[in-house]
Amino acid sequence: MKVFIYNSTVGPLSLASNGKALTGLAFETQTHPCRALDGAEDGDDAILKEARKQLAAYFKGDLKTFDLPLAPQGTDFQTKVWTALRTIPFGKTASYGDIANKIGAPQAMRAVGAANGRNPIAIIVPCHRVIGANGSLTGFGGGMERKQFLLALEQGQTPLAA
């Protein structure tokens, strides 16, 4: 397992790879620690290089869909939520209820919120695109400033510094 610190527009990001897929992308400070970073050694590989290339294009506004092999580790329920998050289009948002309905568990909005908060591959698995049912911005493990920045970036607005 390799980890590389990428200095992005939203601050340092820890990228983790098992050599075949990206296993983690974590903000320097975030609510829940990223388990994919546990035991990882500083290093680099083709997956990490491609992740950095795609992230750079995303932050420039040139990339709307990431194309990387991903291997997030979690429960079956979390994995379903994370897969559903990847269907939220660039520049759009969805509510926790929307995601709960998408995975066939319409009463599981709180559990969806918990799984969203434990997403080990931030930005690429776009947990920042999930908002409250009333359209309000809700918590984000990377901080509300980063969430606002990412949403503004994706909506073609000039984001304020994260």
Q: Hey, which residues are catalytic here?
A: 127
Query: Which phi and psi (to 5°) does residue 131 adopt?
Result: -130, 175
Structure tokens at 107: 């009463």
**DSSP β-ladder status, 22-27 and 11-17:** antiparallel
d(CA 122, CA 5): 14
* Strand partners of residue 25: 15, 121
**85 within 8 A of 129, measured Cβ to Cβ:** yes
* Residue whose pair of structure tokens reads 């920042």 in the numeric block: 128
